[in-house]
Structure 1
Amino acid sequence: MHIIFGRFSQISIAAALCLGASGGLQAQNFPISAGQKATATQVAQTGVPLSDLAPNAPDSYSVRRGDTLWAISGLFLKSPWRWPELWGMNLQDIRNPHLIYPGQQLYLEKANGRAILRTRQASADGPPTDTLRVSPRTRFESLADASIPTLSPNAIEPFLAEPMIVDEIAFATAPRIVAAQEGRVLLSRGDRAYARGEYVGGEVRGVRLSDAKGDPQAFRVFRNAKPLKDPTTQQILGYEAQYVGKAELARGESTAQIPDKNGELKTEIVPATIDIVSTKEEMRVGDRLMAEPPREFLSYVPHAPASTISGQIVSVYGNAVAIAAENQVVAINRGRKDGLERGHVMAIIKDGERLLDKTDSARPQIKLPNERNGLLMVFRTFENLSYALVLQVTDGVKVGDRFVNPN
Structure 2
Amino acid sequence: MLAARPAHISVLAACLTLVTTSAWAQASTLPITPEQRRVAEQVASAGVPLSELAPNAPDSHTVVPGDTLWDISKLFLKTPWRWPELWGMNRDQVRNPHLIYPGQILHLVKVDGRARLQFGQRVGGDGDTLKLRPQMRISGMDGSPIPSIPLHLIQPFLTDAVVFDTDVLATAPRVVATQEGHVLVGKGDLAYARGDFGGATDFRIFRTTRVLRDPTTNEILGYEAPYVGTADLIRPAEDRRGADGKTEIVPATLRIGHVRQEVGIGDRLAPAPQRNLERYVPHAPDRPVAGQIAAIYGEALNAGQNQIVALNRGKRDGIERGHVFALWRDGEAVIDKTQDRPQAIKLPDERHGILFVFEVYERVSYALIISVNEPVKRGDRFTQP
Compute the TM-score of the two structures, normalised by the length of structure 2. Answer: 0.84
Question: 2:59 is matched by which residue type in structure 1?
Answer: D
- Give the CA deviation at 1:81: 2.3
Distance 1:58 1:141 in 2: 29
Q: Percent identity of the aligned residues?
A: 51
What's 2:186 paired with? Answer: 188
The answer to which of 238-247 and 43-52 deviates more is 43-52
C-alpha offsets along residues 169-190 of structure 1, whole Å, 9 cap, x if unaligned?
Answer: 3110111001123222111112
Distance 1:63 1:128 in 2: 16
Moved over 6 A (4+): 127-132
Please, which of 164, 187, 206 is the counterpart of residue 166 of structure 1? 164
Question: 1:258 is matched by which residue type in structure 2?
Answer: G
Please, which of 195, 206, 209 is the counterpart of residue 197 of structure 2? 209
Confirm whether residue 391 of structure 1 aligns to residue 363 of structure 2: no
- Give yes or no for contact 1:48–1:115 (8 Å, CA) kept in 2: yes
What's 1:102 paired with? Answer: 102
Please, which of 370, 373, 377 is the counterpart of residue 356 of structure 2? 377
Confirm whether residue 317 of structure 1 aligns to residue 297 of structure 2: yes
- Give the CA deviation at 1:258: 3.0
Distance 2:34 2:128 in 1: 44
- Give the CA deviation at 1:259: 5.3
- CA 1:332–1:128: 2 relative to 1, 3 Å: closer
What's 2:287 paired with? Answer: 307
How many pairs were matched up?
353
- CA 1:337–1:131: 2 relative to 1, 3 Å: closer
- Give yes or no for contact 2:161–2:226 (8 Å, CA) kept in 1: no
What's 2:319 paired with? Answer: 340
C-alpha offsets along residues 271-309 of structure 1, whole Å, 9 cap, x if unaligned?
Answer: 111111122111111000111111313121111101111
What's 2:278 paired with? Answer: 298
Alignment of 1:223-262 (within 5 A): 223-258=207-242, 260=244
What's 2:175 paired with? Answer: 177
- Give the CA deviation at 1:41: 2.6
- Give the CA deviation at 1:53: 2.0
- Give the CA deviation at 1:122: 10
Supply the RMSD in Å over aligned alpha carbons: 2.6
Alignment of 1:68-147 (within 5 A): 68-120=68-120, 142-144=141-143, 146-147=144-145
- Give the CA deviation at 1:270: 2.0
What's 1:21 paired with? Answer: none
Distance 1:226 1:339 in 2: 24
Compute the TM-score of the two structures, normalised by the length of structure 1. Answer: 0.80
The answer to which of 149-158 and 95-104 deviates more is 149-158
Distance 2:68 2:84 in 1: 15
Question: 2:185 is matched by which residue type in structure 1?
Answer: L
Distance 1:377 1:230 in 2: 20
* Unmatched runs of 5 consecutive residues or more in structure 2: 5-25, 132-137
Please, which of 269, 278, 282 is the counterpart of residue 258 of structure 2? 278
Partner of 1:209, secondary structure, is coil
- Give yes or no for contact 2:122–2:130 (8 Å, CA) kept in 1: no
- Give yes or no for contact 2:31–2:281 (8 Å, CA) kept in 1: no
Partner of 2:351, secondary structure, is strand
* Unmatched runs of 5 consecutive residues or more in structure 1: 3-26, 133-138, 198-207
- Give yes or no for contact 1:188–1:279 (8 Å, CA) kept in 2: yes
- Give yes or no for contact 1:90–1:119 (8 Å, CA) kept in 2: yes
What's 1:14 paired with? Answer: none
- Give the CA deviation at 1:391: 1.0
- CA 1:253–1:360: 2 relative to 1, 3 Å: farther
Distance 1:356 1:38 in 2: 47
Distance 2:142 2:41 in 1: 26
What's 1:6 paired with? Answer: none
Partner of 2:74, secondary structure, is helix
- Give the CA deviation at 1:116: 1.7
Partner of 1:224, secondary structure, is coil
Distance 1:98 1:337 in 2: 28
Distance 1:143 1:105 in 2: 20
Question: 2:240 is matched by which residue type in structure 1?
Answer: A
